[in-house]
Amino acid sequence: MCSAERIDGKLISQKIHEETLEESKKLKEKHNLQPGLVVVLIGEDPASQVYVNMKEKKSKELGFYSEKIVLNKEATMDEVLTLIHKLNNDPRVHGILVQSPPPPQIDEEKVIESIDPKKDVDCFHAENVGKMLIGKTDGFYPCTPYGVMKLLEYSDINPSGKHAVIIGRSNIVGKPMMSLLVQKAKGANATVTVCHSRTPNIPELARQADIVVAAIGKPEFVTADMVKEGAVVIDVGINRVEDATRKRGYRLVGDVAFDEVSKKASKITPVPGGVGPMTIAMLMQNAVKACKMQNGITD
Amino acid sequence: MCSAERIDGKLISQKIHEETLEESKKLKEKHNLQPGLVVVLIGEDPASQVYVNMKEKKSKELGFYSEKIVLNKEATMDEVLTLIHKLNNDPRVHGILVQSPPPPQIDEEKVIESIDPKKDVDCFHAENVGKMLIGKTDGFYPCTPYGVMKLLEYSDINPSGKHAVIIGRSNIVGKPMMSLLVQKAKGANATVTVCHSRTPNIPELARQADIVVAAIGKPEFVTADMVKEGAVVIDVGINRVEDATRKRGYRLVGDVAFDEVSKKASKITPVPGGVGPMTIAMLMQNAVKACKMQNGITD
């Protein structure tokens, strides 16, 4: 029934984790260094706890110095900024991550600005965002769009000269995706179109794409009539839709109507198991890069 | 012969200079402040001298504190960085500009990184580039693409929901142009396509554009067959082509074949007299903004 090749994000992320583990071991053996990643959670949001625990667990598996710091949900800005300041100056810590979203009394933008850009492994700080757009390689790339670039690479899809149509212009996916794909660089060099809520003719534009990146946050938004025969379709969406047949009452679907689109696409990412697992894999890669850069290691 | 309305960059830039003068006067009267702009020239490149002198002259006309600092063409990195450090700490100076290109012994990237982002009125520093892409308004926008946004605004062209096709992906025009046009913001909200040297089908893509921005640095690259009837055409190119009939032996042409394209476009910028004069106008606006931000003035 499904003619498109599935891009297996679970498998690819696993390969990347293996690479990260190798690099982590090498840092230990050659340089007596241990990449350090600290995840800060403010409050008790259950979904955030799940994410934070996943990141902590994976860091430990990869041999990192790993710390999870949980602040009370009533934590003040002062407390958060004092903590960030301490972590910025802690040489064991190469990457700092503040789990989003923080409670309402916390100004997330100010917290991000307070993180030393060299330790900003999420690439939320303006300096790293700017480096990415300019094409400098001494910053970080945001984990999800970076993961998409790696999915393409590991699936032998070279975007050079291809037309990539990105649906969505968020700061965490759409805009960095456009920045990465348009660069004059190996693995990039795509012609890029960005569509969004104000675009009147998304289907017409999407049909021109050799590569569609769906990141608009609407369940099954991309239908078969919006996709060219043989296109590559990358689904960044994760949406909950009610489903009484499931025990938990919902199921996860992407921004792409997988069943129908997979009949036309040449390669497609499933949800879950496509882009999802890549985010944490690239976070760990960023932590290793941070460790190397902060220690002047270039091998 | 010419059916398109000409967008008069000279006139529009004049209006913006008048606004800047008003703001400059107001800063003096209400706050006893004078915007300060320093232009640094390293070496004696004749074209650079012309630009630097223009900027100095305009600053003075607008009532700014203005300084032109000329360093020897053999100046060392240390000398340049020491000068920037001094200017970063000089409260009279709100904007610092290092004329490009510097001589070969000078690492331009490092010089840009050394400028306090708050004084980076060219918007070359990664932090300001990142703020622009994220959509923050407390940085600066690069003067030429910012000038294009103002040309659109003053010509009553609202990019919202329109398809803008940008030809060229340079760090000073193409990429910031895409960043500004795609924002979820008043005067922006365009669907954006970026084409470049690796794009195989630029004519086909350009023909879909409601707004074409040509910034590829090739004389008369955009021809009539590449433009949709009624499109708006913005020409950022300035190219010298040999012309024996001219006294100086060349004439300036844009990236657009003006005569033929102006028969199909609804509005078009000429070269010279289109985008060109806007760059310096936006630089002066950035200097006023820098002065206000550094002094906490919001009116």
Contacts of A270 (CB under 8 A, 6+ apart): A6, A7, A9, A235, A254, A258
- B126 chain-A contacts, CB cut-off 8 A: 126-131, 134, 136, 139
Mean pLDDT across chain A? 97
Quick one: pLDDT band at residue A299, thresholds 50, 70, 90?
confident
> Shortest CB distance from A126 goes to which of B109, B130, B197?
B130
Render pLDDT for B3-57 as a digit per residue (tens, 0 to 9).
899 999 999 999 999 999 999 999 999 999 999 999 999 999 999 999 999 999 9
Residue B281 has pLDDT above 70, yes or no: yes
- pLDDT category at B2 given cuts 50, 70, 90 is low
Q: What is the mean pLDDT of chain B?
A: 97
State pLDDT tens for residues A63-101: 999 999 999 999 999 999 999 999 999 999 999 999 999
A 152-171 residues inside an 8 A Cβ radius of B: 160-161, 163, 169, 171
Q: Do A161 and B198 touch (CB under 8 A)?
A: yes
pLDDT of residue A7: 98
CA distance A57 to chain B (A): 31
pLDDT for residue A3: 86
The Cα B282–Cα B150 span in angstroms is 9
The stretch A130-143 carries a mean pLDDT of: 98
pLDDT of residue A1: 47
Q: What is the pLDDT of residues B245-276, one digit of tens each?
A: 999 999 999 999 999 999 999 999 999 999 99
Per-residue model confidence (pLDDT) at position A2: 54
Q: Is the pLDDT of residue A137 over 50?
A: yes
Residues of B in contact with A201 (CB under 8 A): 163, 191
Residues A77 and A60: beta-carbon distance below 8 Å: no
Q: Which of A109, A126, A191 sits opposite B193 (nearest CB)?
A: A191
In B, which residues are within 8 Å of A178 by CB distance? Answer: 178, 182, 192, 194
pLDDT in tens, A268-291: 999 999 999 999 999 999 999 999
The token pair at A92 is: 């064991």
CB of B256 within 8 A of CB of B295? no
Give the pLDDT confidence score for residue B178 in this predicted structure. 98
Asked if A125's CB is within 8 angstroms of B125's CB, the reply is no
Residue entry with tokens 């760990």: A284
Q: What is the number of CB-based contacts under 8 A between chain A and chain B?
A: 125
The pLDDT > 70 percentage for chain B reads: 99
Question: Domains plus CATH for chain B?
Answer: 31-116 (3.40.50.10860), 143-277 (3.40.50.720)
Return the pLDDT at B250: 94
Q: Looking at this predicted complex, what is its ipTM? A: 0.97
One-letter amino acid identity for B183?
Q
Q: How far apart are CA B279 and CA B141, in angstroms?
A: 11
Contacts of A133 in chain B (CB under 8 A): 129-130, 133, 171, 175, 179
Which pLDDT value is given to residue A6?
Answer: 97
10 Å CB burial of residue B170 (0-12, 13-18, 19+) is: middle
DSSP-based three-state secondary structure for A238: coil
Asked whether the beta carbons of residue A130 and residue B135 sit closer than 8 angstroms, the reply is no
Instruction: Kindly indicate the confidence band of residue B1, based on its pLDDT and cuts at 50, 70 and 90.
Output: very low
- Minimal Cα–Cα distance from A10 to chain B, Å? 30
Mean pLDDT of the region A134-143: 98
pLDDT in tens, A108-124: 999 999 999 999 999 99
Asked if pLDDT for residue B167 goes beyond 90, the answer is yes
